[in-house]
Structure 1
Amino acid sequence: MERDIYCVFCKQNNYTPNTVPMLTYWTRCYVLVLLGSLLLLAVAAGIWIRINTYEHIYSVLELRAEQLVDLNGQAPEDSEVFNRLRQMEPGPPKLRPPFPDEEHPVDMWGNINNFNKDESSNSPQQAGARPPEPGPPVPDVVHTVDIWGNVQIIKKDKSTTPDSSTLFDLSTLNQDILAGEKVREQVKVDSQTWLRVGVPVYQNGTVCKALYISMPVKNQISGPIGLLALLTGIITLASWLMLYFLSRRFTRPLYEVAAAAQSIAEGKYDPVLPQQVKERELQQLIESFRNMAAQLKQLEQLRSALLAGVSHELRTPITSIRGMIQAVHKKIVTGKDAEEFLQISWKESIRLQQMVEELLDFSSFEAGAAPIRGEPVDLSNLIGEVILQLGVLPEYSHVRFEQDLPDEPVWISGETGRLRQIFLNLIDNSKKAFASLIKIILQAGEHQIIIDIEDNGKGIAISDQPFIFERYYRGNARQIKGRGLGLGLTLSRLLTRAHGGDLVLLKTSATGTTFRLCFTRILQ
């Protein structure tokens, strides 16, 4: 499903060729990291297996070599391996003849074999020899070298030993063996690595020869390495599948959110979103997106309704003015009626001019094209002038003003005309809410000025409160009355913030409304 969503989403957008699906990208990154980690672990494990296998083979070969020497009575009594063998096989040791000649070689368990007889007589069961016990790998080559460099091959497996004399190329004894030490060596024979162990053979307390046992490494190390490679492959495949399905599960909600975003971009505000996901961050993203889609849908509906309202508000005075002037012009009305028609047309033209200026001011401030010119303004004096200006107007004859202003000047940095416009808009809103009492309270602190404008009007409906500062929003009551563009509060907040302050709705109820203005005070 997420693949289909992604494909549809990509077809409707022009993406650069370098972009890849999130599922592919994350899976690829995870697999590369996994492969790198497993490769390092496999190399480390391979090295460890190699070292461990070599050490094991060396130990086995040393044990077999000293066992051969001991079983033939040639090892010193204080030999560590001799003591170990005694612990493994309680009782007195079975002494064997010294190293025989080539006609009677000794196998690694101390049994004497006769190669000159037929194969039936060589059977351990017929000869009464002890059958070999299961144990570590059997060495392929056993030979001795005396102090004069003479080599005597005791055991040589022709099926596994290459036709080479490299293993027996010992012209002189190793100095460590002459000193009574054991020797560990690696020998290359036809591109194969052989491990060789040499132990001294004593005669009358003196080293007379060395016993060498050799074994190829390939057969012993290929098994563990192959098993390691198999396990690495299985782990890689299982991890890749796990990462793929986890990434797929994680990216599916993101694909759906991306498809929902494209749907909203096309003007469809009811996108299909996942209902519940376990990841908290994804759930928060989905819930935020769902709320955003709901708000966008509401604002789009509001925009359509308000554009129609704005068009109606602008068309109404124009129609009224045109009809009245036409009546006067065609002498349909004369005398006092004509004069009254002209007076109404003049008022409607003023109202139309105010709406156009309001639109222009709002557009200018929203675009940042009308910066505020900072100059000292006494708010106490300005509020007194506004109240005096409105108090003499006929439309405010039923409104009683009360003011609580400090006696001393209260200064801010701003533009007198714009500040006057803020107070006029707020007081005009109170009048339109049928307020009979408007009270203005100014509280001046050391750094901040707070101005509350209270009225006893009918208040603002709860459903309208979140949107009163939205552009073109007039509320249900205002729409019924059909007056204004719904830009008064929006423009007032823009002007207040342009002066470094803020405008908020402090409280409202059926008995009145209070707006609060905050400004930064300056000292004169």
Structure 2
Amino acid sequence: MVKLKHFEDWGINFVLIKNNKRISLLRYWTSRYLITLCIGLVVIAFISALWIRHTTLENRLDMTKLMAQEIADRFVDISEGRPISKGDVPGSLTDRGRFMNIESDPSIYIVDTAGTILSSNRSSKQVFQQFPRVILQNEENVQKLRLEETGRDFYVVKAPIVTQDYSFGWVVIIELEDNLTRVNQEYRQLAIMIISLALLGWAAIYFLSRRLANPIKDVASAAKQVQAGDYNIHLPDDMKEQEVYDLVQSFKEMSNRLQTLETLRTELLAGVTHELKTPVTSISGLLQALNDDVVTGEDAKEFLALSLNETTKMKKMVEDLLAFNSFAANAIPVNKEKHSINEFMDDFIHQWEVIQEDETIDLVFIPLKKDRMVQIDPIRLQQIMTNLLNNARHAIEGKGRINVTLAETNNELTLDIKDSGSGIPSDEQDLIFERFFRGEGKKYKIRGLGLGLPFSKMIAQSLGGDLVLIDSSSSGTTFRITLPMMS
């Protein structure tokens, strides 16, 4: 029983593995399209065959009626108005099937009004002695009957032999339904057309699916390459399909972005190590000098002050890291309050100028002409403004100007900070809001972790607005803070 259970489990697992087997996109689309196409063509072929059969039957019945009428007209010409007799019957009624373009030869009978058969294209053994009057008395010229002995259907077509409103008899043509609907040549042509359409459709979907599958296979291979840590991918750009082109381009941009982030991560480790190692080394050296009594008196106090200063810088960097991580995890609440935006900005700019005590920077504030009330967290907005104004000051070498402009557009307040600095290089503008990114111009001049702008953008978004770079060139840089207005 244990072995049996083992084999049962193995069988179930085998079925699951088989059902989960992946197939290529090319095979998937072509096989399913071919099945769908074949089903559709079979349905079309069936309907077409029925239509051909019906149309052929109708056409041949019309031809049979014309043939019966033609024979009747011949008897009228022969009899010249006399009652017809056997002497008036044409010598041969054979090969009339060719008149209807069928392989068989229909049975043709000439009967008088009493139902006596005067002539037929059949041998005497096959001819009735007396034609059934029920057929002759029926008002319909085309009748469908069934032979009880064989169960086969046949059609009876009759045409009266009439001259001067006097009926002399009937021309009766009898043919099996199978013979009237036999169209082998049309069916062969239909089969050839259906098979040709199936092959053409399969070839078309095969090449189209192949054209679609190849770029996807290239992207899948490139994804494995990126997964392995190799970002130097090569994908073609000559796709005409818009969606495929967008997919390839998006993947290439994603790969380039991942490569940039990987570079930033490496630089982050080096930067954080450097930024933390420098104050630790300084503190260690200064404290070692104090411990070894290398310096005493006032020099010892100065060394201790320097150590405290370096400790404060290191503490600030650690706090920045913790604050950024907490804000990224939505762990820091935002407490909004109602404030007059003009008064708030006047107070903040005054405080910033007092702290800076830098006479080389000319700070100009342009308030709203009509003051507005806003819901803001004053501490968080001050963090954003402090970071932007400090960055603007660092971007200006020597004397310069910073303009802070409040404006109202589309139910939003915009706060533009424009400096007269050297600007941000164009290749760095898309990366300034990336975490831990530091431009080449600031990397070796200003100490920091590259969290100021990303942190400020997160704060602005938590306030219901945003922080974006409007413009940056050699003549200066403009950042914009957007804030929602109170309704």
Scaled by the length of structure 2, the TM-score of the pair is: 0.79
Could you list the per-position Cα deviations for residues 346-398 of structure 1 after superposition, in whole angstroms to 9, with x for gaps in the alignment? 112211222122112222222223231111234444444444544455x7545
CA distance in 2, matches of 1:287, 1:386: 45
CA contact (8 A) 1:74 1:202 kept: no
The residue matched to 2:46 in structure 1 has which SS? helix
Whole-angstrom distance in 2 between the partners of 1:493 and 1:361: 14
| 1:497 alignment counterpart | 461
After superposition, residues 70-469 of structure 1 pair within 5 angstroms as 70-73=73-76, 97-99=87-89, 106-108=92-94, 136-137=101-102, 139-143=105-109, 154-156=120-122, 171-174=132-135, 176=137, 182-187=141-146, 190=150, 192-201=152-161, 205-208=166-169, 211-215=172-176, 217-218=178-179, 220-393=182-355, 396-397=357-358, 399-404=360-365, 406=367, 411-435=373-397, 436-437=399-400, 439-445=402-408, 447-469=411-433
**Secondary structure of the residue that 1:269 maps to in structure 2?**
coil
Q: CA deviation at 1:43?
A: 3.1
Q: Which letter does structure 1 place at the counterpart of 2:30?
A: T
2:133 aligned counterpart, secondary structure: coil
- The one-letter code sitting in structure 2 at the alignment partner of 1:42 is A
Q: Are residues 246 and 513 of structure 1, via their aligned partners in 2, closer, same or farther at CA, if it must alter by over 3 Å?
A: closer
Given that 1:61 and 1:213 are in contact with CA atoms closer than 8 Å, whether structure 2 keeps it comes out as no
- Match of 2:404, as an amino acid? I
Q: Choose from 32, 39, 43 the match for 2:42.
A: 39
Query: Residue 114 of structure 1 aligns with which residue?
Result: none
Identical positions, percent: 31
1:475 Cα offset (Å): 0.6
Residue 312 of structure 1 and its aligned partner are, at CA, apart by 1.9
Counterpart-to-counterpart distance in 2, 1:275 and 1:514 = 35
Pair 59,514 (structure 1): closer, same or farther in 2 beyond 3 Å: closer
* CA contact 1:60–1:136 (8 Å) conserved in 2: no
Cα distance change on mapping 1:248 and 1:500 into 2, 3 Å = same
Kindly state the Cα deviation for residue 55 of structure 1 after the two structures are TM-superposed. 2.1
CA drift at 1:472: 0.8
Q: In structure 2, how many angstroms separate the alpha carbons of the residues matched to 1:280 and 1:20? A: 25
* Structure 2 SS opposite 1:443: strand
- Secondary structure of the residue aligned to 1:217 is helix
Aligned mates of 2:310, 2:272 — CA distance in 1: 15
Cα deviation for residue 49 of structure 1 reads: 1.3
CA separation in 2, counterparts of 1:243 and 1:99?
65
Q: 36-45 or 337-346, which moves further after superposition?
A: 36-45
Partner of 2:6 in structure 1? none
Q: Superposition RMSD on alpha carbons, in Å?
A: 4.0
The runs of 5 or more residues in structure 1 that have no matched partner are 1-13, 79-94, 111-131
**What is the aligned partner in structure 1 of residue 3 from structure 2?**
none
Q: In 2 relative to 1, CA 506–238 (structure 1 residues): closer, same or farther, beyond 3 Å?
A: closer
Check whether the contact 2:76–2:163 (CA below 8 A) recurs between aligned residues: no
Shift of 1:273: 1.4
Query: 1:438: Cα distance to partner?
Result: 5.2
Cα distance in 2 for partners of 1:169, 1:294 equals: 98
CA contact (8 A) 2:71 2:171 kept: no
Whether the aligned pair in 1 keeps the contact of 2:26 and 2:213 (CA below 8 Å) is yes
TM score, norm. by length of structure 1: 0.74
**Equivalent residue of 1:470, what SS?**
coil
For 1:471, the aligned partner's letter is R
Unaligned 5+ segments in structure 2 are 1-16
Cα deviation, residue 248, structure 1: 1.5
Residue 183 of structure 2 aligns to a residue whose secondary structure is helix
The residue type equivalent to 1:141 in the other structure is: S
| Inter-partner Cα distance in structure 1 for 2:204 and 2:223 | 29
Amino acid at match of 2:386: L
SS of the residue corresponding to residue 437 of structure 2 reads coil
CA gap of 1:285–1:59, structure 2 versus 1, over 3 A, is: same
Helix, strand or coil at the partner of 1:331: coil
Secondary structure (helix, strand or coil) at the match of 1:431 reads: helix
Shift in Å at residue 246 of structure 1? 2.0
Give me the whole-angstrom Cα distance separating, in 1, the residues matched to 2:245 and 2:109: 76
Mapped partners of 1:211, 1:464: distance in 2: 99
* 3-state DSSP of counterpart to 2:215: helix
Is the CA contact 2:115–2:130 (under 8 Å) kept in the aligned structure 1? Answer: no
Between Structure 1 and Structure 2, the one with more helix by share is: 2
SS at match of 1:225: helix
Offset, 1:20: 4.5
Alpha-carbon distance in structure 1 between the residues aligned to 2:18 and 2:413: 52
Q: Determine the C-alpha separation between the residues in 2 that align with 1:404 and 1:143.
A: 116
How many residue pairs were aligned? 461
Q: 1 CA distance for matches of 2:230 and 2:154?
A: 76
Secondary structure, in 3 states, of the residue corresponding to 1:195? strand
Change (3 A) 1:499 1:211: closer
Per-residue CA deviations over 1:311-334 (Å, capped at 9, x if unaligned) read 321232223223322322232332
Q: Judging changes above 3 Å, is the alpha-carbon distance between structure 1 residues 50 and 307 closer, same or farther for their aligned structure 2 residues?
A: same
